[in-house]
Structure 1
Amino acid sequence: MEYKTVEELMTKAQEAIGKTFGEIDLKGRLTNTKSKGGLGQVIEESFFGYKINSDARPDFEELGIELKVTPFKQNKDKSISAKERLVLNIINYMDEVNTTFETSSFWKKNEKILLMFYEWLPNYEPKDFYIYKNILLSYPAADLEIIKQDWETIVEKIRNGKAHEISEGDTNYLGACTKGASKNSLRPQPNSNIPAMQRAFSLKQSYMTAFLRKYVNNEELVSFAKQRDLQEKSLESLLNDKFAPYIGLTDKEIATRLNVTYNKDSKSFVPSIVSSLLGIKGTRLEKIEEFAKANIQFKTIRLEPNGKPKESMSFENIDFHQWTNESWEESYIRDKFTSTKFLFVIFEFTETKKQNPDRKLYFKGIKLWNMPLPTIDQEIKQIWEEVNRLIQQGLHIEFKKRGTKTVETNNLPKVGFNGVAHLRPKGKDGKDKVILPNGQTITKQCFWLNNGYISQIIR
């Protein structure tokens, strides 16, 4: 059936609200264990009544609208999140490099998207999920400028024969996710003899989460970037422009200029400075629209006079049960570093603590960084493999006397393992323990990036 107007299509889509996929499925697709595509195909075939296809044109070609059926989930804190990125069309590396954004396969197919959201619930059968809300996605003007920049970043990498090094962390809103069951899903690329994993354009999970919270929960996000600015500069350039006037000032001088209460020991001090610098004082960093949509996480770095941070950079505690029950390609740690950008806000001491106990901390600048894919698939993978190997074989855990204290030691990867990352506890209390999949008990362990590696990144 053809739909002559957007209103006619949306009226039809509204009829699905509240219905389960089991109720909608007229073709028995959900009871056929051999069928692929699942819930999206149920909507295409049984609800809108058109044949399943992998056409380069939008599903509702006459209206220029693509259809996507996508899940969200409720978190422990009652907030909602997209359950996954929104996978769009496959990238043909050989063809995409010969297009402009306006003539690209991405834009031709995904200029407008009818999003049909369903709530994913644990322990439910797919047939019992139901359509919760429909939204017609037409990209906000500022978002579109960032998406154009992202598309250009992806295509430039393909042009340079580096499609095999594409990472979702390279871009902000529009990603290029791997698409295929295994490493057998390899494709030729221009200007290189190295085959690259098949990839598809996708809207990042963080982008979809921010979109959901804004349009489903009416949550307010605050933006610092304007469309007119993004037409001329990248998001990173705009951030640099905002921070540049404060380089060389002490943290106290910056606080005074921005009228922020100076408390260098407070965890909220630097975030307060960041939001004030961006012209949106008082906004929590997770409520900054560009940070939320691009999954930009903030880290403060304090350099010693030798140009090296005193401390390594800590992340969350490790769930060893998760680590040992997932493949590398689907692992939490790999996804963390392929999908996250980090905003490093860098300060430096010009004197050692010994030279001056009351030494001042000077602002050095910022760096928007994502871990390169070769590092993820080599050094980070080495650590993941070593941890899995040790748990399978049994960790070597000892308790040693150091003065009046008893200290737990183990043979998990240390700072010297590969120069990039290591595992060790975070905090002073060794009483907080977890049980490993092999039954051993160990102090909670945290993932750290080595201070030497951080020094190399920002050098």
Structure 2
Amino acid sequence: MRYDDPNALLDYAQSFAGFTLGELCERYKEQIPQQLLHKKGWVGQFLEMILGATSGSLAQPDFPEIGVELKTLPIDELGRPLESTYVSVLPLINIHGLRWENSVVRHKLMHVLWIPIVASRDITIEDRQIGMPFLWNPTVEEEQTLKQDFEDVLDQVSMGNIEQVDARFGDILQVRPKAANSKALTDAIGPEGTVIRTLPRGFYLRPQFTKQCLQKQFN
């Protein structure tokens, strides 16, 4: 499915508001996982499928023709985000020339379709309900903070300090391990420019920030 503009995508996404995942799976003949421990990305992938996202795992927005990234946002019954939001992999090697302006993080966060989902842990997967989707762009101030967070982390990576970067870094963007298990190691720049093996990392949006996005949208 192709969209002429972001509002056409938004209109279609909002038509699913109020439905449970179980109801949508029944409509689209999709099997619901028994649990999401080893299928953490299933909800997002399912919604990408029914909305017609075309990027798959490519390092670009999910709807490249209109420049929109889809992000699911698990919330509790009071509308509070339950976790940080994955954005993209943090490059740990061959980062010469990488800047905020040409980064995957910026491309993905310039226009986001947020889909809140009431997903408290005591709600079964099939009973989790789709909230009202909305489109979001960062303000000038928000983008400046995102850029600063991104560049601060890249500076640490380039200096061989990846092992000192943890989730406390960054006002909006934080860095967290992004690996299936502790054996899934990747190359990174180490001290003195040597190559070390370390866990893959990813950029995530802090839940405090996505909470602010929700509050601004729904007042």
Closer, same or farther: CA 209–158 of 1 in aligned 2, 3 Å: same
**What SS does the corresponding residue of 1:124 show, helix, strand or coil?**
coil
Shift of 1:115: 0.5
Map of 1:208 onto structure 2: 210
**What SS does the corresponding residue of 2:131 show, helix, strand or coil?**
strand
Map of 1:38 onto structure 2: 42
CA distance in 2, matches of 1:33, 1:172: 32
Q: Which one of 62, 71, 75 corresponds to residue 72 of structure 1?
A: 75
Shift of 1:196: 2.5
Structure label with greater radius of gyration = 1
CA distance in 2, matches of 1:23, 1:3: 24
Closer, same or farther: CA 49–146 of 1 in aligned 2, 3 Å: closer
* Counterpart residue identity of residue 93, structure 1: L
Higher relative contact order, chain-length normalized (CA < 8 Å, sep 6+): 2
Please state if 1:179 is matched with 2:178.
Answer: yes
Closer, same or farther: CA 99–27 of 1 in aligned 2, 3 Å: farther
CA distance in 1, matches of 2:3, 2:68: 11
Contact 1:44/1:50 (8 A) holds in 2: yes
CA distance in 1, matches of 2:29, 2:166: 38
Correspondences of 1:331-410 after superposition (within 5 Å): none
Shift of 1:7: 1.5
Map of 1:10 onto structure 2: 10
Please state if 1:48 is matched with 2:51.
Answer: yes
Contact 1:101/1:148 (8 A) holds in 2: yes
Contact 2:169/2:175 (8 A) holds in 1: no
**What SS does the corresponding residue of 2:183 show, helix, strand or coil?**
coil
TM-superposition CA deviations, 1:395-423 (whole Å, max 9, x none): xxxxxxxxxxxxxxxxxxxxxxxxxxxxx
CA distance in 1, matches of 2:126, 2:186: 35
Aligned residues: 212
* Counterpart residue identity of residue 29, structure 1: Q
Contact 1:147/1:174 (8 A) holds in 2: yes
Please state if 1:152 is matched with 2:156.
Answer: no
Shift of 1:60: 0.4
Contact 2:55/2:61 (8 A) holds in 1: no
Map of 2:23 onto structure 1: 23
CA distance in 1, matches of 2:34, 2:119: 20
Closer, same or farther: CA 158–43 of 1 in aligned 2, 3 Å: same
Contact 2:115/2:133 (8 A) holds in 1: yes
* Counterpart residue identity of residue 6, structure 1: P
Map of 2:106 onto structure 1: 107
**What SS does the corresponding residue of 2:58 show, helix, strand or coil?**
coil
Runs of at least 5 residues in structure 2 that lack an aligned partner in the other structure:
none
Across the aligned residues of Structure 1 and Structure 2, the Cα RMSD in angstroms comes to 2.1
Map of 1:354 onto structure 2: none
TM-score (ref. length: structure 1) = 0.44
Judge which range, 180-189 or 90-99, deviates more: 90-99
Contact 2:17/2:130 (8 A) holds in 1: yes
**What SS does the corresponding residue of 2:102 show, helix, strand or coil?**
coil
Shift of 1:108: 2.3
Map of 2:198 onto structure 1: 196
Correspondences of 1:57-136 after superposition (within 5 Å): 57-74=60-77, 79-136=78-135
Contact 2:95/2:158 (8 A) holds in 1: no
**What SS does the corresponding residue of 2:88 show, helix, strand or coil?**
strand
CA distance in 2, matches of 1:55, 1:215: 29
Contact 2:55/2:62 (8 A) holds in 1: no
CA distance in 2, matches of 1:146, 1:103: 16
CA distance in 2, matches of 1:117, 1:64: 20
**What SS does the corresponding residue of 2:48 show, helix, strand or coil?**
helix
TM-superposition CA deviations, 1:171-218 (whole Å, max 9, x none): 1111122112322232211323332221111111111122223323x1
Contact 2:44/2:72 (8 A) holds in 1: yes
Higher strand content, 1 or 2: 1
**What SS does the corresponding residue of 2:132 show, helix, strand or coil?**
strand
TM-superposition CA deviations, 1:14-52 (whole Å, max 9, x none): 11111111122224231477983221111112x213468
**What SS does the corresponding residue of 1:211 show, helix, strand or coil?**
helix
CA distance in 2, matches of 1:187, 1:161: 14
* Counterpart residue identity of residue 66, structure 1: E
Q: Percent identity?
A: 24
Contact 2:83/2:207 (8 A) holds in 1: yes
* Counterpart residue identity of residue 210, structure 2: M
Shift of 1:102: 0.6
TM-score (ref. length: structure 2) = 0.88
Shift of 1:158: 0.7
